[in-house]
Structure 1
């Protein structure tokens, strides 16, 4: 399948649009957990503590990145990703439906398990990594894919704030159950879209495990080795170096995602008490902060995609992933300095919730310099036989971050340290990590050249 010079192939667009269904469902369900679990039983919730709710949301985030590591083995060695992807969406749909009928924490944990299991088989990103065959188009392509991902995320997080408390609420009971069932419906529709639309444009792509579908570069290298030795060769030196580079990038992604997820927590807790959430007489739903992040991703996706295209066209080429990662972490640090500035300037009074728009922009800018490019980097340099596994190593790093940010939040923002001091501390660590990443850029980039 060849990539047109003037744009991405149709297979890219239809597969990337699948992400809209998946992320709409995911963020609709994920955003609702904190509210559903802590709302009183009389209003349709479970009446449990903030800590329980935070742990449940953390587990959904974490295990939706851990289980794909096991799903990766399946699509790398046994079953084509085009078949596992819609099956995974249907399993996740069953999970969200389970959330819609949950009457206890056990029901929520069942939802978390089924959704995570479904996402373990959802390998659309790896498929896109093979749809795009021109490496110079990888970063722009994955930036555009990230835009479509966040179209779904924006719709989910924006609508949930209105749906559960206005549209689906009845006789004092909030509309949690219909919202979870809507998430289930989105996953069913997404699975059908994949079967009846994506398969049509994928040709033979994804029918076989990735181990059996080498790139042209890998076929040429393996043929040369077979000609020289007469046997199939293990990983080459350059392949081992590239795998090492993926692990190093994943290690730094842990730092990035801990601080990124950490930035959300004050919105629901510290700023919930120390900001005025009423704008023009309307009580702004807290889930709209998530929506602001997604909206900025949609806006910045095409901008950064064009930026990577222009940088790649330079004689010296594009910036490396390692330098972009350093800049992304540094931008997150600037966001925490802004948090500290808000806390200082409010002088004990409640600050306007509108200030969070600026923080959401900074959070998103750091995210766009980093998150979409991880999958692009892996698609470029991972050996095909380990493509899905390497994608999942990246996801496993996010799992570690997701399981870590809760305890880190308790340590830094649990009340023992002043909020502004904790924010400045996070910013300092962010800047230090960024400087290390940029300083090591040449050595790390040499691993993939």
Structure 2
């Protein structure tokens, strides 16, 4: 297994694996952003002419099942086929899905696209592979923050370009360029599969075998002690007490992840609905595409990724040791709550008048700051503490939280923002729930930390 404990950063294998995310996220966010517009645009302009509800449902399904698929794919990568083989196959399947979307003339082909994308992403295992390419636990928080920057480089390109491409570059005679955009997403996936396949030469032996056979140094040391005691070291041996505790900790953190991602996804809907009516979207004579809000989030992720990586590295180097994941993610939830407070203040301060869309830049920054304290660290935490035989599956458990959140935020929007309540009051209520969740994480920090600490260490 290739070591990345180097004075001058991470290995070439890390960068080749991480940069694969750029191709995948470019395609995903291009397609995800476009589906809302494509499904609801009139047939005369190249759309399907379906209802807003149908468009929202389709986007929700794409988001949700893109995070459910990895659970099945996780079992395959953990037990049967190495991640370096499942990943390019998955990317090709996703690319086929986006190509089906480019040919859609009705809802059927859109659903085919959703199925292919979900199935293909289930086999996409770059995150789990990074968790084994980087062998130094103290580097993992920084590594996954850098990975998050790479992820959002692709997301930024996809969400920024799609707003220009479909309505300006690819539009012709009143017909919007939906089909070429979906083909571009497909091409990105096919190119990404080629990039990853080429890059595996720099990844050592990582991903050649199922994850259950790629043990960490800690697990190898534990196997040594087991052999001395005459205990089994086979991959199907019963879980140890510490392994059970660590799996429990992963599930607990994933529970808080559901809360985070419900509120994070929910924050987007007022931008597309409430603020489109109550903000002036024209800046310097140009009407800003709504998808550029997604691009702003991705841009700030790119900027903040290296900064948070340096922060985690500095904290890990302290004499007293690193800050726990539970405190870090608690800060993430609290910052997310602050973003809703900002929404409430904006709504109260505008006094019923339209305000500039530029205010959304500040909101996007606060929202992204909360995201950077939360999302990348989940995968780092799982890479540190998940038993190797369940690594990809535990990664999928983190994704299942996003799946549940994706199914919940739409109906929650109807009950809250569309439920007859004052906009600012709903925002304040959500902020209170987020901050209370953060306080709970802080109060339970010591007890939760004990779940992952090996008393023998």
Q: Given the two structures, how large is their TM-score scaled by the length of structure 2? A: 0.97
Whether 1:79 aligns to 2:81 is yes
- Give the counterpart of 2:272 among 252, 268, 286: 268
- Give the counterpart of 1:253 among 257, 266, 270: 257
Q: Tell me how far apart the structure 2 counterparts of residues 130 and 250 of structure 1 sit (CA, whole Å).
A: 21
Residue 201 of structure 2 corresponds to 200
Say how many residue pairs are matched: 448
Secondary structure of 2:438 counterpart: helix
Residue 222 of structure 1 corresponds to 223
- Give the counterpart of 2:442 among 425, 438, 441: 438
| Aligned-pair Cα RMSD in Å | 0.8
Q: Tell me how far apart the structure 2 counterparts of residues 379 and 282 of structure 1 sit (CA, whole Å).
A: 45
Residue 49 of structure 2 corresponds to 47
> Which whole-Å deviations, capped at 9, do the CAs of 1:136-189 have from their partners, x for residues lacking one?
000000000100100000000000000000000000000000000000000000
Residue 318 of structure 1 corresponds to 322
User: CA offset at residue 223 of structure 1?
Assistant: 2.7
User: CA offset at residue 225 of structure 1?
Assistant: 1.3
User: CA offset at residue 319 of structure 1?
Assistant: 1.1
Q: Tell me how far apart the structure 2 counterparts of residues 44 and 343 of structure 1 sit (CA, whole Å).
A: 35
Residue 92 of structure 2 corresponds to 90
Residue 107 of structure 1 corresponds to 109
Moved over 4 A (4+): none
Whether 1:396 aligns to 2:396 is no
Residue 298 of structure 2 corresponds to 294
Q: Tell me how far apart the structure 1 counterparts of residues 348 and 288 of structure 2 sit (CA, whole Å).
A: 23
User: CA offset at residue 418 of structure 1?
Assistant: 1.0
Secondary structure of 1:315 counterpart: coil
User: CA offset at residue 203 of structure 1?
Assistant: 2.0
User: CA offset at residue 48 of structure 1?
Assistant: 1.0
Residue 412 of structure 1 corresponds to 416
Q: Gaps spanning 5+ residues in structure 2: where? A: none
Q: Tell me how far apart the structure 2 counterparts of residues 433 and 110 of structure 1 sit (CA, whole Å).
A: 38
Q: Tell me how far apart the structure 2 counterparts of residues 322 and 296 of structure 1 sit (CA, whole Å).
A: 23
Q: Tell me how far apart the structure 2 counterparts of residues 230 and 333 of structure 1 sit (CA, whole Å).
A: 49
Residue 156 of structure 1 corresponds to 158
Q: Tell me how far apart the structure 2 counterparts of residues 364 and 147 of structure 1 sit (CA, whole Å).
A: 12
> Which whole-Å deviations, capped at 9, do the CAs of 1:100-157 have from their partners, x for residues lacking one?
0001111111101100100000000000000000000000000001001000000000
| Greater mean deviation of Cα atoms: 229-238 or 59-68 | 229-238
User: CA offset at residue 226 of structure 1?
Assistant: 2.7
Q: Tell me how far apart the structure 2 counterparts of residues 104 and 136 of structure 1 sit (CA, whole Å).
A: 50
> Which whole-Å deviations, capped at 9, do the CAs of 1:407-427 have from their partners, x for residues lacking one?
111100114111111111101
Q: Tell me how far apart the structure 2 counterparts of residues 311 and 349 of structure 1 sit (CA, whole Å).
A: 45
Q: Tell me how far apart the structure 2 counterparts of residues 55 and 317 of structure 1 sit (CA, whole Å).
A: 45
Q: Tell me how far apart the structure 2 counterparts of residues 371 and 118 of structure 1 sit (CA, whole Å).
A: 22
Secondary structure of 1:103 counterpart: coil
Q: Gaps spanning 5+ residues in structure 1: where? A: none
Q: Tell me how far apart the structure 1 counterparts of residues 339 and 327 of structure 2 sit (CA, whole Å).
A: 19
Secondary structure of 2:171 counterpart: coil
- Give the counterpart of 1:171 among 170, 173, 186: 173
| Greater mean deviation of Cα atoms: 432-441 or 227-236 | 227-236
Residue 136 of structure 2 corresponds to 134
Residue 28 of structure 2 corresponds to 26
User: CA offset at residue 231 of structure 1?
Assistant: 3.0
Q: Tell me how far apart the structure 2 counterparts of residues 309 and 230 of structure 1 sit (CA, whole Å).
A: 37
Q: Tell me how far apart the structure 2 counterparts of residues 153 and 386 of structure 1 sit (CA, whole Å).
A: 28
User: CA offset at residue 49 of structure 1?
Assistant: 1.1
User: CA offset at residue 351 of structure 1?
Assistant: 1.2
- The residue correspondences of 1:298-377 to structure 2 (distance < 5 A) are 298-377=302-381
Residue 58 of structure 2 corresponds to 56
- Give the counterpart of 1:240 among 241, 244, 257: 244
Q: Tell me how far apart the structure 1 counterparts of residues 328 and 152 of structure 2 sit (CA, whole Å).
A: 20
Q: Tell me how far apart the structure 2 counterparts of residues 350 and 105 of structure 1 sit (CA, whole Å).
A: 36
Secondary structure of 1:285 counterpart: coil
Residue 193 of structure 2 corresponds to 191
| Greater mean deviation of Cα atoms: 16-25 or 1-10 | 1-10
User: CA offset at residue 227 of structure 1?
Assistant: 2.7
Q: Tell me how far apart the structure 1 counterparts of residues 388 and 419 of structure 2 sit (CA, whole Å).
A: 48
User: CA offset at residue 280 of structure 1?
Assistant: 0.6
